Structures are given as C-alpha cells and as structure tokens.
Amino acid sequence: MAKQKAAKVNSPQQKSELKLSEKSLMFILGAIAFLLFANTLGHEYALDDVAVITRNKFVQKGIAGWPDIFSSFYWQGFWDLNTGLYRPLSLAMFALEWQLATNSTFLFHLNNVLLYSVSAIFLFKLLVKLLPNVNQWVLFFTTLLFIVHPLHTEVVANIKSRDELLCFLFFILTTWVVSNDKFQGLKYLLMSSLVYLLALFSKEAAITFIPVFVLILYFFKGFDWKQSAIRVAPLAVIAVIWLGIRYYVTQVIGPPMVKLTYIDNSIIGCGDFFSRTATAIAIAGKYLMKCFVPFDLAYDYSYNQIPCETFASSSVIISLSIFSALIYLAWKYRLTKPVISFGILFFFITFSLSSNIVINIGTTMADRLVYIPSFGILLAFVFALAEIVKLSRMTYIYICIGIAALFSLKTFARNKDWKSDVTLYLADIKTSPESNRVNYNYATALLGNLPTDETQKQAQVNEIIKYLNKALSIDRNDKNSYANLAVAYYKMKDYKNSISTSRKAISFSERDYSLYSNLADALFMNQQYDSALYYYKLCTDKNIVYDYTYNFIGVSYFSKREYKNAILNFEKGISLYPNYAETWFNYGNALASDGQLIKAIAAFEKAYSLNPTNKQALYFIGMSYENMGNKVKANEYYLLSKN
C-alpha cells in the first residue's frame, strides 16, 4: 500500500473545544433524524407506493416474490411499461415487510425513518474517519444540515423512495471499506464488492460513485491518482457486471423499452437539442437554489410547470455562471481546502445522471433526485463558512444552528403534506400550479372525496371542473382530464357535456373501454337508450362491467318495452352482483310487466331485504298481489309501504 499523505484540512475549531464525545454526537444526530420524521409514521401510502407495494404482484408474494423481483425490471410487478430501471433491493425489502406485517403502513414508514437515522449516524462516523484533523463540530453541523434539509422529505416520507435511502447508506458503507486500511486483499475485495453491489441494486445512480471513491482516496487518504484507481478498480469491475445484469433484465428478457414523451419529461418536448440542454441547465440551477432556499417544494414539476428555455434566458445564464464559479472554486481550493473542492465535485458527479443533461430520464424534476448530491454542496457550504468566511466560533455555531432550525421547521411541516395522496395534492396545487399532472391529481382527489351535503357537493364539483379545465388548458391532449371532466359533468347531471367530453377522451384512446362505459352511462341518463346499449355492448364484450352496468342495460331495454331482453340482462347483473338492490327492484318491474307476478314479488322482496329504505318495493309487491286478485295481501303491503 502506498504511503499516505493525508490532506491538511484547516478549521477554526480545535478538538480540545469539544464538550461531547463522538458517540454522543452520533446519538444526537440519529435521534434528531428519527424525531424529525416521526410524524410520518402514521402516514398512508402516497403516489407510487401503490405501484411498488399494494398493487405490485411480486411484492404481494412476500419472500416468494424475490426471484421475480431480481429477474424483472423495476415496474414489472405493477405494469409492463419498461423504462429501463432495475432496482430490486427496495422491492425485496417491501416484499419481506409485506410478509411480516401485511399492509402495515407503519412498518414501511418506520423502516424508512430508521434507515435515515442510521444513515445520519454512519455519515457522521465516516466524516470523522476521513477528516481526523477537523473539529468534530464542523462535521456535526455538516451532517445536521443534511439530515434536517426539507428537500429530503420526499425521500423519507414517501415509502417508494426507499431506493434513495438504501443507495446512500450503501455508498457510506462502501466508502468506509474503500478508505479503511484494515480492509486489504481478499477481505477488501469481498466486502467492498458486496456493499457496492447492494448500492447498485438500490439505484442506478450508484454507478457515479466510482469517480467519487477515487476522489476520496486522493483528497483524504493521500493516494495519488494511480493508487486511487487501482484501489477502486475492483468496484469498476462490479459496476460492469451489474451493467450486464441490468442489460439482460431490462433489454433481453424484458419487453421492449417504452419511449419517453413530454408527459414523462417535459424537457423532451422542448424542440431542438439546444433548447432541451438549456432547459436542463436552468432546472439544475433550480436544484442548486433549493439546496439553500428549499421553498415551493412539490411532488411534481412536469409539463408545463417549467417552461422551455434558450441559452439567452436569464435563468440559464445565471445557472451557467454559478456552475462555472463552483468549478473554478473546486479547482482553486483543490490543494488548500480539499473538502470544499471535493464537496463541489461530489455534487456535480452524483447529480450528472439525474440532470437531464447527459441523458433524458423519466421525469423533469423531482426533489428526491437531489438527495445524495445535496450532501456535497452542503459539505462545501459548511466548510466554506469555517475556512473561507472564517467566522468566529460562536457566530459560526449560531448561523449553523439557525439554518438547522429553519430547515427543521420546514421539514416537519412538509412531512404533513405527505400523509396521503389527498393531502399532498391539496398542498402542491399551490406550489406547482402550471403542472398539468398536479391540476389533474388535485381535481381527481376532490372527485374521489365528494361531500354528502348536496350544496357542498355541487360547489366542490364546480371546483373540480375548474381545475380539470386548467389541466386541459396546459395540455389539450390529456385524455385523463377529459375522462374525469366527463365524470364531473355527470355528477352535475349535465349529461350533454358529459357525453361530449367522454367522446373527446375516447378520441385520444379508442381502446380504453372504461371510457366507453362512462359514455354509455351519460347516454343512458340522457335517455339515449339505443346509443347507450351500443356502447354497453362494447364494454361487456371486453368484460368492463360494474355493479350497475347490467342494471342500466336492463332499464334501457325496459324503457324500449323489450321486457324479455330486460329480464335477461337483470339476471346477468344479479348473477355477478347478487347484493345490488337496485337491480333486484328493476328486475321485479320487468317481471311484473312481463306478467310473471310471482317471480316479481320475490324480486321485490329481495330488493327490500337488501335496502329496507326502499318502501316503493313494498308498494309494488302490493300492486302485484292486487293484479293477482289478492286484495288482502295487496292492502297489507300498501299499508306497510306507508308505515
């Protein structure tokens, strides 16, 4: 092993000033991380949690689903849209948790918080090891600002983001092994390969850690470039092996990869290469800004929250200027203040794959994507306060504590927004108002939670229509907003508009037969029975059937006085949904109209047993008995219907 020439790191603090032990500081950081996110333990599932847990067929198998998880692309347990992602480790953990405590949101959230807390402890321990000449309070505040940062709320509060937590945790562990002199020979090969492979199985971004490991050895362990490369070479081999596995799973045995569109990543819709690149640079500037001023956080920044830019745009020019200045500082301080230089380089390297500059990814922008890169910029910032600004000891402490307090308050408040889909949608309509998806999701959340009071219901439906129209003003090709707008008009009993918007939705997706069902329902309510029957036929042929479907079909035939067809379809509905009272009631009407009075009475009795509030069923039983000449029974049921 080469002789180490550990880089000298200046600091305004001295070890002798520490009043708490390293273990005490580790405990404090772990406790802060846990307590700050403890208010997420009672949260529900949100966003993609459904796709990776409750509706993921592999995760639902528990441990038995592990072979499928490790041999499939990331989303395959939920749908067949192959975007090239391969992240089996978090899914394997979800499967284990599902087997241990089925559908326990508490367990899923608890493990996220615990992983975050453990990461805080290990991160501080790693910094102490890498920077033994730096006052531990500087390392403490570096770790503290990282763990209380509001940008990280999505990573901890959203169960799906377990992949981010695992990736960073295994980065810390891999760095510990790579930089530890105790790990040599076979022991080093096995340990470093294992923990790094786990990082790669957590998230693809771990591939960027290879140059980071080289920088760590060069800046903090005294290795030259050649020695650093040799030490890291086994991990490069592991990365190549992992790339082969990922390629086989996602492109050989998996279905063809889907092509990304502007809906997935709005940058793709930004015209030519130069506009796309300029927009990506402007967004990178927004990420950097949020590292220091974490406001207007949102779960979605998709089309068209962030407009396309050009290289003449002020946001692009400012971003390029700031990035150029950072690169200059990284070069300037590479020898005298290597921690600052390393932090800046860490940010750029780990952010590269998520930046949309190197490659287009499946999203425009997301807070979670800057979770790992933000550590580098915060590291550089905290050390810059100590080594460049050279604040007095108490001023330095007050500034760090003040920033940490502000971050913590924002994080604690932001956590509450992630309680459920509904709370998140209601919160982020304010911070991402120009996103088609946010407007659509907000309106959909309101549509799924309509009040029972009719006046309040109508007011809320008007609100729904307003935001769906806003979504459509952003993207006129949004089939889903047309579909839900049709439902909203239906709730308003505006069947003509419901019909026209349903047809518009169908024009964008002619094979989505659930849309035909919505159209058929509106046609039925508008008494266009022949048209309704045509579309119901399309739906039933594709097995798109709800509890009311055959009831509406039967009523359509009944209205046309085709009682035999009505009876046949009511019977189909009853066979599928035997406890749907309305079908039994209308079945009784059809039987009575067809002269089958005894069967009609039985159907009305069943309808009443399922829905005792339906007094009309009793009255119709009375009418049936009267038509059969049994006035005593008829009067008995007439009296019952009144009482």
Q: Is the separation of the CB atoms in 637 and 621 below 8 Å?
A: yes
Separation CA 311–CA 397 (nearest Å)? 40
Same domain, 238 and 311: yes
Is 3 a member of any domain? Answer: no
What would the pLDDT profile of 353-396 be if each residue is shown by its tens digit? 999 999 999 999 999 999 999 999 999 999 999 888 777 888 89
Quote the number of domains for the chain. 3
Whether 579 and 515 share a structural domain? no
Which candidate, 466, 469, 470, 520, places its Cα nearest to that of 495? 520
Task: Give the whole-angstrom CA distance, residue 588 versus residue 614.
Answer: 13
Q: 82 by DSSP, 3-state: which?
A: strand
Helix 273-292 / helix 371-387 crossing angle, nearest 10 deg: 60
Q: What is the CA angle 11-17-18, rounded to 5?
A: 100
Q: Do 239 and 268 share a structural domain?
A: yes
**Helix (H, G, I), strand (E, B), or coil: what is residue 257?**
strand
Residue 9 within any structural domain of the chain: no
- 3 pLDDT band, cuts 50/70/90, is very low
Average pLDDT of the segment spanning 30-57: 95
The answer on 262 and 400 residing in a single domain is yes
Angstrom distance (rounded) from CA 635 to CA 198? 78
Report the greatest alpha carbon distance in the chain: 111
Domain of 639, CATH number, reads 1.25.40.10
CA angle 622, 626, 630 (to 5 degrees): 105
pLDDT at 533 over 60: yes
| Matching residue, tokens 């911070």 | 431
The residue to which tokens 């009523």 are assigned: 555
Q: What is the pLDDT of residue 298?
A: 96
Decide: 344 and 376 in contact? Cβ < 8 Å.
Answer: yes
The whole-angstrom separation of Cα 89 and Cα 74 is 10
**And the tokens for 593?**
């109209």
- Of 384, 416, 448, the position where a domain reaches its end is 416
Helix (H) or strand (E) holding 144: helix 136-147
Domain boundary residue, one of 542, 565, 591: 542
Q: Which residues form the domain of 313?
A: 15-416
Is 426 part of a structural domain of the chain?
Answer: no
- Write the CB contacts of 342 (distance below 8 Å, at least 6 apart in sequence): 215, 216, 219, 220, 376, 379, 380
Structural element, H or E, at residue 537: helix 529-541
**What pLDDT is attached to residue 392?**
80
Two tokens, residue 221: 């362990």
Q: What is the pLDDT of residues 101-150, one digit of tens each?
A: 988 999 999 999 999 999 999 999 999 999 999 988 999 999 999 999 99
Same domain membership, residue 442 and residue 386: no
Average pLDDT for 311-324: 96
Query: For residue 454, with 0-12 CB atoms within 10 Å meaning exposed, 13-18 middle and 19 or more buried, which class applies?
Result: exposed
The answer, yes or no, to whether the previous bond of 586 is cis (omega within 30 of 0) is: no
Q: How confident is the model at residue 19 (pLDDT cuts 50, 70, 90)?
A: low
Domain shared by 364 and 510, yes or no: no
**What was the pLDDT predicted at 390?**
77
Average pLDDT, the chain: 93
* pLDDT higher than threshold 50 for residue 325: yes
Q: Do residues 612 and 592 share a domain? A: yes
- Return the closest-CA partner of residue 367 out of 78, 153, 629: 153
Residue 104 falls inside a structural domain? yes
- Please tell me the distance from the alpha carbon of residue 407 to that of residue 294, in angstroms, as a whole number: 8
* Confidence at 10, pLDDT banded by 50, 70, 90: very low
Residue 5 confidence (pLDDT): 46
Residue 388 exposed, middle or buried by CB count within 10 Å (0-12, 13-18, 19+)? middle
Domain contains 425: no
pLDDT at 17: 52
* Whether residue 536 is found in the same domain as residue 554: no
Q: What is the DSSP letter of 3?
A: P
% of the chain exceeding 70 in pLDDT: 97
* DSSP state at residue 450: -
Give the position of tokens 């089996």: 88
> Which whole number is the average pLDDT over 437-444?
95
Residue 98 lies inside a defined structural domain of this protein = yes
Helix (H) or strand (E) run with residue 401 in it:
helix 393-417
Tokens at 576, concatenated = 């599928």
**Assigned domain for 6 exists:** no
Q: Is the pLDDT of residue 184 over 70?
A: yes
Beta carbons of 477 and 506 less than 8 angstroms apart: no
For residues 163 and 63, state if they share a domain.
yes
How far is it, in rounded angstroms, from Cα 503 to Cα 519?
A: 7
Q: What is the pTM of this model?
A: 0.87
Q: Is the pLDDT of residue 316 over 80?
A: yes
> Does position 9 have pLDDT exceeding 70, yes or no?
no
198 and 81, same structural domain? yes
Among candidate residues 416, 451, 482, the one where a domain is terminated: 416
CA distance 355 to 283: 8
Are 242 and 124 contained in the same domain? yes
Mean pLDDT of 417-427: 94
Is 301 part of a structural domain of the chain? yes
> Are residues 375 and 453 both part of a single domain?
no
The model's pLDDT over 64-95, given as tens digits with 9 standing for 90+, comes to 999 999 999 999 999 888 989 999 999 999 99
- How confident is the model at residue 511, as a pLDDT? 87
Q: What is the rounded distance in angstroms from the CA atom of residue 207 to the CA atom of residue 380?
A: 22
